[in-house]
Structure 1
Amino acid sequence: MEDYKIIIVDDHRIFRKGLRFLLDDMEGINVVGEAENGKEFLTLLKITSADIILMDINMPEMDGIEATIKALDRFPELKIIVLSMHGEEQYYDKMVEAGAKGFLLKNSDVDELSKALHTIGAGGTYFSQELLVGILNKRKQQKHPSEVIQFTDRELEVLQLICKGHNNNKIAEELFISIRTVERHRANLLSKTNCSNSIAMVMYAVKNNIIEI
């Protein structure tokens, strides 16, 4: 299998270089470019092909939300992972709507970076568990009522594992059910929550206190 080609987009040069240092030692990963803002990133995309983009949110000239929308409009096969810090949760819905496939804390360790990149590279989604815990804790403090949707026990089990970043194969193994059954539960969950994809469903589950992390 060919390496996943990665572009890092962040306005802090020291952070980009540090992240690249970690990625350069990672099996199956090839960093093909860097950009310091969304505008520079879109220019880079004209001459550099990539599979996965590690995208900062707040940047000068063009932020990560606008850059994600424009990049996916031109190259819909790209997979965007958001690089986030605590306190940026207000942007998550917009990044999901823009088409992001995953969210990572900027201080994620090598193991989590590798897991996220390979999960998303293989067509899955990924959400940092530490970020999920932070969002859940804020929601509990705000005491917003959850939307009333009836889920079966099995659907809740599947949803919990989706929120942990498990793919269909892993969920099937853990719950001792077939992959086709997992796919059916996933489709039902998307329908009930009115979400277009798994990452939007994770956000929905967190916002409505449906899961426990």
Structure 2
Amino acid sequence: MTRILIADDHHVVRSGLRSVLEAQPGFEVVGEAANGQEAVEAALKVKPDVIVLDYAMPVRNGVEATREIRSRLPRTEVLIFTMHDSQDVIEDILAAGARGYLLKADANDHLITAVQALGRHEAYISGKLSANLLDTLLDRRKRGRRQILTPRERSVVQLIAEGNTNKSIGAMLGVSLKTIETHRAAAMRKLGLHTTADIVLYAVKNRMIEV
């Protein structure tokens, strides 16, 4: 029996996923979470085999949640389930320890297969994404990787765009105020941003938050 935790901030998405997964023989949904922090806490409590985790979660995004879950529950596999078709996001979540990536638009055709693969501790990225990612990695190896945000900088940008203060972000991520200020400054420098409003516009444009 593959034990599954569903983490998405939309109730209707969680309900739909639960219905599909529970109809599959050998699957058991053992919990739900509505934000990244709840996902971490629920995972530590129920210790699922697979977590279906939305990338753009409030409080703690999919990268932050994945990193902590995988560090504390190395046998739990994470399937990032998202609308974001981005090479940078894929690389970030793979670096955090997720071994599955599925676009919400592909759920009807690939969800069951993806969860089954992760239940066997096999990686799963849908065919189109896998090919695109390989092409991008090969191209960057030739040209040298362009300067992008680190996973932590990306998390800080998202949390700022959601309206959190530096102090509250530090408390969420378990780091000092000075560390958050450093990440914020580095991200703004890399992106050529100057104000909080610029950060919000960048996050919206790059689909890091939903409006």
Residues 109/71 of structure 1: CA separation in 2 closer, same or farther (3 Å cut): closer
Q: Deviations over 1:113-149 (max 9, x none)?
A: 2211111211211111243456578x5xxx947649x
Partners of 2:47 and 2:73 within 8 A in 1: no
2:51 aligned to which of 53, 76, 79: 53
Q: What letter corresponds to residue 55 of structure 1 in structure 2? A: L
User: How far does residue 21 in structure 1 lie from its aligned partner after superposition?
Assistant: 1.1
1:189 corresponds to: none
Q: Deviations over 1:37-63 (max 9, x none)?
A: 110112212321210011111111100
1:119 corresponds to: 117
1:195 corresponds to: none
Q: What letter corresponds to residue 11 of structure 1 in structure 2? A: D
1:5 aligned to which of 3, 19, 27: 3
Pairing 1:96–2:78 present? no
Partners of 2:44 and 2:73 within 8 A in 1: no
Partners of 1:22 and 1:110 within 8 A in 2: no
- Match of 2:30, SS? strand
Moved more, 50-59 or 87-96: 87-96
Partners of 2:5 and 2:43 within 8 A in 1: no
User: How far does residue 112 in structure 1 lie from its aligned partner after superposition?
Assistant: 1.8
For residues 43 and 116 of structure 1, what CA distance do their matches in structure 2 show? 23
Q: Deviations over 1:2-59 (max 9, x none)?
A: x100001111111111111111101111111111111011221232121001111111
For residues 14 and 129 of structure 2, what CA distance do their matches in structure 1 show? 21
1:116-155 correspondence to structure 2 within 5 Å: 116-132=114-130, 144=139, 147=142
1:84 aligned to which of 59, 82, 85: 82
Residues 145/22 of structure 1: CA separation in 2 closer, same or farther (3 Å cut): closer
Give me the identity figure in percent: 33
Partners of 2:7 and 2:36 within 8 A in 1: yes
- Match of 1:108, SS? helix
Q: Give the helix-richer structure, 1 or 2.
A: 2
2:16 corresponds to: 18
For residues 21 and 88 of structure 2, what CA distance do their matches in structure 1 show? 28
2:32 aligned to which of 22, 31, 34: 34
TM-score by length of 1: 0.60
Q: What letter corresponds to residue 39 of structure 1 in structure 2? A: Q
Note the residue ranges of structure 1 that are not aligned, 5 or more in a row.
149-213
TM-score by length of 2: 0.60
Partners of 1:52 and 1:79 within 8 A in 2: yes
For residues 70 and 111 of structure 2, what CA distance do their matches in structure 1 show? 22
CA RMSD of aligned residues (A): 2.5
Partners of 2:83 and 2:104 within 8 A in 1: yes
